[in-house]
Amino acid sequence: MKVAVLGAGLAGLSAAEQLVRRGHEVVVLEKEPSHGGLAATVKRDGFEYDLGPHRFHTSNNEILDFVKGLPGIDLLELNRVSRIRLLDRYFDYPLAFDNVLSTMPLHRGTGMMLSFFAEKIRGFFAPREQESFEGWVLSRFGRGLYDLYLAPYNKKLWGIEPSQLSADWASQRITVPGLAGLIKETIAPSKETVRSLVSTFHYPRGGVGEICRGFASGITETGGSILFSTEPTGIGKTENGWCIYTAQSHIMCDKVINTIPVNCYTKLLGDLLPEKVYQAASQLKFRALVFLTVLLDGDIEPLDHWIYTSEDRYLFNRLSISKNFDPDAPSQVVFEYSCQEGDDIWNMSKEELLRTTIPGAEHLGIFAADKVLDSDISRRAHAYPIYDLHYAGNTATVLDALEDISGSVTCGRQGLFRYNNMDHSIEMGKFAALEILGEASVKDHFNWDENTWADG
């Protein structure tokens, strides 16, 4: 049969590779001029850089062996180094209680502990609600750590108050159950390794985009096709299958695998879904990211793979250092800025963004202004699904309706509105292909509990 795959990120390419290997005709539609989605290595005007830090790790040996076997892949194994910059000090991340106490100013550390015990006492008389990020975190860490780091960073990252952010984000991404758990993990680490505490990871020499390049090579060499700079404008269901309309033409196919943002996909389906589904889909919002890459003259001292910055003095919320991932990479720093498509940060020119960034980089001791050789900017509108207080209900309404449409499967971070990781996307793509073939189900295969997604 002929299958159209929407989106050439990890999930879409994984699905396409599975299908062409089984002898089916596959065409992949990608609106960008190259493959990879967020897991792309941008190559433009002499620049080569990833869209932020990426680490590939998985507990699924089948996925690991498959990636290792992709054509031209050389996977490096690295020991993770990441820190938080706060109060003009560096804190290890993931957080360790002994490091926090030894690095934190005494009055701050004392206040943090007192607020934790005060919160525990309060919990006996007036337990906090557990539906919001704010309530979940305050009840487990106290106001000291919440006000100092957890609230400012997440407000900066998501652009909404922590009280309007779902507790799912906290339970899925904060991998210790509270300050008491942090102390316990420091003194007597558990034998079971949580995903976000994994200390080693794999990274492909040449950039994270090498993984998608390996997938794409396998697809095209086996007879599949990838259409770049091609965006669907509408999708119609026919008696015998589907019709994908684009600005250039239209494509007839038997089945569709979707990995583009689920709210965009829903809109393309026209009148195939009830009005309540479109209303729910319109409430699903994505956080956008802008990436500024700065090429430098000379070496960069910090050995971190990435550094988090929660304070307002830094417009960026994270930076990553390319050479610490790949020794063959140039001396450059990639800065990330959370925003919404069309807002002030999104609309900043490269020059404006660089001017606001250099003082922060100098304050961090990363580089001086006179070391800047060149810079480049990239924007991605659909980077992170925003887990607001209503996301779970809206997501369920949309995905349940899509599940009932025969001949169509949706998967991937954008397609399922899930904050998932690289190995998840690859595995989802595989099972989306198997679902198209009637041999498995994405929904049945994955156990959607918090530990599935835990990663930091």
Q: In Å, how far are 50, 59, 93, 357, 454 from 198, measured between CA atoms?
A: 21, 10, 11, 31, 11
Question: What are the residues facing 132 on neighbouring strands?
Answer: 166
pLDDT at 186: 67
**CATH superfamily to which 2-39+59-77+205-284+387-453 belongs:** FAD/NAD(P)-binding domain (3.50.50.60)
Residues 268-306: pLDDT tens digits? 998 899 999 999 999 999 999 999 999 999 999 999 999
The pLDDT of residue 400 is above 70: yes
Is 371 within 8 Å of 296 (Cβ atoms)? yes
Cα-flanking dihedrals φ and ψ of residue 312, to 5°? -65, -20
Does a cis peptide bond (omega within 30 degrees of 0) precede residue 302?
no
**Mean of pLDDT values over 82-89:** 95
pLDDT at 46: 87
Q: What percent of the chain has pLDDT over 70?
A: 94
Question: What are the residues facing 5 on neighbouring strands?
Answer: 28, 257
Is 410 within 8 Å of 258 (Cβ atoms)? yes
Q: Which helix (H) or strand (E) holds 48?
A: strand 47-50
pLDDT at 134: 97
Q: Which of 91-95, 316-320, 404-408 shows the lowest mean pLDDT across its residues? A: 91-95
Q: How confident is the model at residue 420 (pLDDT cuts 50, 70, 90)?
A: confident
pLDDT at 94: 83
CA distance 76 to 105: 38
CA distance 27 to 2: 8
The residue behind tokens 């025969």 is 406
- The terminus-to-terminus CA distance of the chain in angstroms comes to 40
3-state SS track over 236-260: EECCCCEEEEECCCEEEECEEEECC
Q: How confident is the model at residue 179 (pLDDT cuts 50, 70, 90)?
A: confident
Provide CB contacts within 8 A for 211, sequence distance 6+. Answer: 10, 39, 56, 67, 70, 73, 204, 422
Q: Tell me whether domains 2-39+59-77+205-284+387-453 and 286-385 share a fold.
A: no
Return the closest-CA partner of residue 229 out of 37, 381, 33, 9: 33
The pLDDT of residue 361 is above 50: yes
How does DSSP classify residue 128? Answer: P
Residues 441-453: pLDDT tens digits? 888 887 655 556 5
Residues 45-67: pLDDT tens digits? 889 999 999 999 988 899 999 99
286-385: CATH topology? Polyamine Oxidase; Chain A, domain 2 (3.90.660)
Question: What angle (nearest 5°) sits at the alpha carbon of residue 303, between those of residues 299 and 304?
Answer: 120
Count of CB atoms situated within 10 Å of the CB of 189? 11
Which of residues 450 and 98 earns the better pLDDT score?
98
The pLDDT of residue 176 is above 90: no
Say whether 27 sits in a helix, a strand or coil: strand
What average pLDDT does the structure give for the chain?
Answer: 92
Domain boundaries, the chain: 2-39+59-77+205-284+387-453, 82-194, 286-385
CA distance 282 to 277: 9
Q: How confident is the model at residue 195 (pLDDT cuts 50, 70, 90)?
A: very low
The pLDDT of residue 83 is above 80: yes
Residues 298-349: pLDDT tens digits? 999 999 999 999 999 999 999 999 999 999 999 999 999 999 999 999 999 9
CA distance 112 to 124: 19
Question: What are the residues facing 236 on neighbouring strands?
Answer: 243
Buried b / exposed e along 69-85 (16+ C-beta atoms within 10 A): ebeebebeebebbbbbb
The residue behind tokens 């015990």 is 117
Q: In Å, how far are 8, 147, 166, 451 from 388, measured between CA atoms?
A: 27, 20, 5, 20
Count of CB atoms situated within 10 Å of the CB of 138? 23
Question: What angle (nearest 5°) sits at the alpha carbon of residue 218, between those of residues 214 and 222?
Answer: 170
The pLDDT of residue 189 is above 90: no
